[in-house]
Structure 1
Amino acid sequence: MTEHPRPALTIVGSINLDITATTERLPTPGETLGGGVLRRQPGGKGANQAVAAARLGGSSRMVGAVGTDGDGAALLAAMEAAGVDTTDVARVDEPTGTALINVDSHGENQIVVCPGANGTVSLDGVEFAADETVLCQLEIDLDLVVEAARKTSGYFALNAAPAMALPAELLERCDLVIVNETEYALIPALAEAKLVAVTYGGDGAAMFEHGVKVAEAAGFSVPVANTIGAGDAFCAALVLALRAGLGYGAALAAANAVGAAAVGDSSSQPPLEPLAHYIAATTVSA
């Protein structure tokens, strides 16, 4: 039998160092909490999605930027160790992007992002193959995302997070938009988009065509360690599953399983099984 290679996935997006303080609860404005546990780990929505794609079994390429500092070198090494092609990650004379994160014992979080080198990401010299799948987020400049959409002749997906108004040109070009329920409410134009996947946390996810629900899949009840990387793992899994030919419902179910696996790990770039594992598990349970 001829083995069909998984479609290539290229991620254009952010690369951050996550500095995370875990406390029993989140502080109120002006309050100081003691007893926190501090961790430094690779993050950024773009890098998280690239690493997830590589670990799920898809060939993954990252387009982004890091500083020439030690943090940048460490983040590049982490992506490469996961199997991500970092050839198109620039080293620039800016601090590496950093996210300051507070997470409570229930996995809820507060995040402040300092973009640094992410503000310099460029597509100069970057080419996309005719059959290449490109996934963007909104932690980089919106004009750059629009440029990526224009340059992509293959499948273009957008994780519209953080939520913001989107140009009509960008929405029209998207083959798929992925958001959570809050982002879906904050971007009314998504009701007219061709295809939108909406996540509802533990309640699962649904797919909408021009505002009409066409598929849904139940979520999973799992202990929550950290929600930060779970949405990114879901995005990578959903795009890979759809591009592998799965129907909407099956793709959502597999992506939900990946997200559930991610939320149970404290890392923003959690270890994952190959995508086929989650497809098989959700097919059996269905």
Structure 2
Amino acid sequence: MSTQGLFASCETRPRVAVVGDIFVDISAKVHRLPEWDRDTEADYIEALPGGSALNQARQLHELGVTVKFFGAVGEDAFGKMLLAHVEGQGFPTELVKVLQVPSSICFVLSGPSDRGFVSCYSTTRAVGPEDLDDRTRSELQSCDHLHVGGYFNLPGMMKPGFTDFVRSCRQRGMTVSLNTQSDPSDAYTGTDGHILEMLPLTDLLFVNEREQHLIAAAVMPDGSTSPEALCQAYPELTLVVTRGEKGCQVVKCGQETLDVPTKPALHVVDATGAGDAFLAGFLSRWLSQPRGARNRAVLGDASELGQALALCCIGKKGACVKPVTLAEVQAE
């Protein structure tokens, strides 16, 4: 798997429109969970840019992909801090919507053996297709590919207007990818079964094993939960299932399942953002090839690049502060 010359020139760089969630992650390293009416000391507390879609878009941008990003923050100090951070790295934020609600925040309490989360979904729930004004739609639809990230964090987008937007992107020749993340409601169908409208419009679906199982169980009429059954129901879909230390699996109707093992992680510092790094690596390699040439070999190569980025990500602290670079991958 070569990382040299991902894109031959500026003219061959894919243009990716990313629509999805933005969070400010407040991370605290603690040795025990807080108790009511007591203070709990933390080794550190830090604020990081978060949200699956934002971190996937930032990683794509770092890899040389031209990115147009749409999401929402609140008009508050957290939103301003996040935008200042990513703009300082050269990431484009001109399509980010500022809403009159608090920014979405995720408090991450990281303990000796596990983590706990406290989340506010204000902006991710408030943003909807009505926020895609004519200028934003035009900018996003000037791209080659549409990626929707953190789908289950975006109930406000689960409306006919967004389905129409995605369908319009496909009619313009754009390919479409979808990353769901886990569903806070545990329904795994989206509002009013919206995911049933999205799956036929999706070329690439990125999920982990648990998400794949739960989505299949929710949408398959016969209760089948296998990735093969899901792809048979949606024959245009390529399913990319991340499997942690077991690597990943790529499934497509009518083709032999592709199992791609990953190298063992020599040291794990922080697993935050590894899945986002994998997705960006996979997608950048997949998009670097002409549509008719995205064969089994390309899927394997894309998986390997994604896994290489994920390994770099978990091997350093604060991977969400600055995305993984190709130089870091080459140095491994």
User: Which residue pairs with 1:233 in the alignment?
Assistant: 277
Distance 2:249 2:269 in 1: 24
Higher strand share: 1
User: Which residue pairs with 1:173 in the alignment?
Assistant: 201
Identical pairs, percent: 25
Aligned residue among 222, 231, 242 for 1:199? 242
2:189–2:196 contact (8 Å) kept in structure 1? no
Q: Mapping of 1:62-101 within 5 angstroms?
A: 62-101=69-108
Q: Secondary structure at the match of 1:186?
A: helix
Distance 2:254 2:242 in 1: 14
- Give the superposition deviation at 1:63: 0.2
Scaled by the length of structure 2, what TM-score is found? 0.74
- Give the superposition deviation at 1:175: 0.6
User: Which residue pairs with 2:141 in the alignment?
Assistant: 129
1:48–1:268 contact (8 Å) kept in structure 2? no
Distance 1:174 1:281 in 2: 35
Distance 2:204 2:26 in 1: 31
Distance 1:110 1:148 in 2: 36
Aligned residue among 154, 158, 161 for 1:140? 154
Distance 1:165 1:249 in 2: 29
- Give the superposition deviation at 1:174: 0.4
Q: Secondary structure at the match of 1:86?
A: coil
Q: Per the alignment, do residues 248 and 277 of structure 1 end up closer, same or farther by CA in structure 2, a change over 3 Å counting?
A: farther
Structure 2: gaps spanning 5 or more residues: 1-7, 220-226
Structure 1: gaps spanning 5 or more residues: none
- Give the superposition deviation at 1:123: 1.7
Q: Per the alignment, do residues 74 and 87 of structure 1 end up closer, same or farther by CA in structure 2, a change over 3 Å counting?
A: same
Query: Given residue 168 of structure 2, which amino acid in structure 1 is its aligned partner?
Result: K
Distance 2:312 2:46 in 1: 20
Distance 1:64 1:118 in 2: 8
- Give the superposition deviation at 1:187: 1.0
Q: Mapping of 1:1-286 within 5 angstroms?
A: 3=9, 4-24=11-31, 27=33, 34-36=40-42, 37-105=44-112, 108-121=114-127, 122-125=131-134, 126-127=136-137, 128-129=140-141, 131-137=143-149, 138=151, 139-141=153-155, 142-143=157-158, 146-153=163-170, 154-163=174-183, 164-165=188-189, 167-188=195-216, 189=219, 191-192=230-231, 193=234, 194-210=237-253, 214-220=257-263, 221-245=265-289, 247-267=298-318, 269-275=320-326, 278=329
1:149–1:174 contact (8 Å) kept in structure 2? no
- Give the superposition deviation at 1:18: 0.5
- Give the superposition deviation at 1:7: 0.4
Distance 2:55 2:254 in 1: 28
2:59–2:324 contact (8 Å) kept in structure 1? no
* RMSD, aligned α-carbons: 2.9
Distance 1:51 1:251 in 2: 18
| Post-superposition CA distance 1:213-232 (Å, at most 9, x none) | 53232223132222221111
2:15–2:144 contact (8 Å) kept in structure 1? yes
Distance 2:115 2:58 in 1: 22
| Post-superposition CA distance 1:222-260 (Å, at most 9, x none) | 322222211111112211111112611010000001111
Distance 2:166 2:266 in 1: 36
Higher helix share: 2
Q: Which has more radius of gyration?
A: 2
Distance 2:275 2:209 in 1: 12
2:313–2:324 contact (8 Å) kept in structure 1? no
Query: Given residue 146 of structure 1, which amino acid in structure 2 is its aligned partner?
Result: T
Scaled by the length of structure 1, what TM-score is found? 0.85
2:48–2:321 contact (8 Å) kept in structure 1? no
Query: Given residue 106 of structure 2, which amino acid in structure 1 is its aligned partner?
Result: A
- Give the superposition deviation at 1:28: 10
